[in-house]
Chain A
Amino acid sequence: MPHQCVKCNIIYPDGSVNLLKGCNECGGKFFFFIKENQLKEAEEIVKNLTPEEKIQIEKDVFELIGIEGDESPVVLDLESIRVLEPGKYQLDVVELFKGKPLVYRLEDGKYIIDLASTFRSKKKD
């Protein structure tokens, strides 16, 4: 599935090396993970955001998932959570209940890492 650089709107195909290195254009490491049939919609969302809003969204998403001071690229799964603009969220509860990770972090040699553990609460006593 394609990935879209949130900062400059460029779409990269699945498995592109840019996901690890950062966006060709802006060096950004924050991507939306999108389905082919959602491409147009995702493009529209990002196109209408100001640069400040994009930075804020990146900050908000990192805070939501508890990532701090990490340079690894991050991919937000638009199927489960959409950030339309700062402060406006659409949640697909059906997808969320499936327990799929909301966010993928990419690292060299480990293409996609499940960040679900970030959210995992204390285990049963």
Chain B
Amino acid sequence: MMIIRIGDFIKRVLNNIFKQKKNIKLGLYGPVNSGKTSLANKICVDWIGEEMGIVSSIPHETREIKIKEKVEIKSKKGKSISFNLVDTPGIATRIDYEDFLKHRMSVKEAKKRAKEATKGVIEAIKWLDNMDCVLVVLDSTKNPYSQVNLTILGNLQARNIPVLVIGNKVDLKKSNLKAIEDAFPQYEVIGVSALNGNNIEEFYESLFRVIK
């Protein structure tokens, strides 16, 4: 009798843990073209065998929130976590259709893209309150002291949302991960190349530290 009760208790506890973790929303935030979708694709390919979205060198390729549900990853020690991965449009302070014209786009297409990108920024910001944990993806070849980066991180801190800062594109010559670490010393910073998979194992291990 006692054994059955203990068994039920353990089952309930496990169910609760599973229930809580099932709906964790892990958001990818960051400036435009920092590699959020590339990282989302890397995670999805590695753990569920399919990509999440289209990646392009043209800014504002992701203009809508995209969600991949129930992504489960396993640590080296055999622990596992499951989350809903939420890829968001890049945050920008200025969106100008003329920037798209050099990518062989018609004026009409470029203006449409600018409008969608603006809508995307607004949506990404509105979604922040829904996140349980956020990966701030920064381009490690760029100066980290930008208004966009500081505003995103400041708002995450104010909302008490756990953060992991990703310095992406560490495979590139111009990459300077230390600049990101110096800029945001209060956060754990992981350097990766979402495209080539550099340091991706360490990134997965760090997810276990930040998603609780």
Residue positions of A touching B, CB distance < 8 A: 60, 63-64, 81, 86-94, 96-97, 99, 102, 119-125
- A93's partner among B65, B107, B126, B151 (CB-CB below 8 A) is B151
Please judge, given known A-B contacts A86-B111, A122-B130, A124-B130, whether A91 and B147 are in contact too, CB under 8 Å. no
Nearest-Cβ distance from residue A101 to partner chain B, whole angstroms? 11
Q: Is the CB of B12 closer than 8 A to any CB of chain A?
A: no
Q: How far is the CA of A124 from the CA of B24 in the complex (A)?
A: 9
**From B154, which residue of chain A is reached at the shortest CB distance?**
A97
Asked, given contacts A64-B115, A64-B119, A121-B65, whether A90 binds B127 with beta carbons under 8 Å apart, the answer is no
A-B contact pairs, 9 of them (CB 8 A): A64-B118, A87-B114, A87-B115, A88-B95, A88-B97, A89-B94, A91-B95, A96-B121, A97-B128
Q: Would A87 and B96 be within 8 Å (CB), given that A93-B91, A96-B121, A97-B151 are in contact?
A: yes
Main secondary structure of the interface of B (DSSP, over half): helix
Question: Across the interface, do A121 and B126 meet the contact criterion of CB distance under 8 Å?
Answer: yes
Q: How far is the CA of A119 from the CA of B118 in the complex (A)?
A: 13
- In Å, the complex CA distance between A99 and B127 comes to 11
CB distance from A61 to the nearest CB of B (A): 9
Which residue of A86, A90, A119, A124 is within 8 Å of B126 (Cβ)?
A119
- Selected from B107, B110, B114, B122, the residue in CB contact (under 8 A) with A96 is B122
Query: B61 an interface residue at 8 Å Cβ cutoff?
Result: no
Q: Which residue of A lies closest to B158 (CB)?
A: A97
Chain B 95-118: CB-based contact to A (< 8 A → 1; otherwise 0): 111100000000100110011001
Q: How would residues 76 to 104 of chain B score, 1 for a CB under 8 Å from any chain A CB and 0 otherwise?
A: 00000000000000011111111000000
Question: In the complex the two chains form, is B118's CB within 8 Å of A92's CB?
Answer: no
Known pairs A97-B155, A124-B23, A124-B25; A91 contacts B118 (CB<8 A): yes
Asked if B114 and A119 make an inter-chain contact with CB atoms under 8 angstroms apart, the answer reads: no
> With A and B bound together, what is the CA distance between A29 and B155 in angstroms?
34
Q: Is the CB of B130 within 8 A of A121?
A: yes
Q: List B107-154 residues whose CB lies under 8 Å from chain A.
A: 107, 110-111, 114-115, 118-119, 121-123, 125-130, 147-148, 151-152
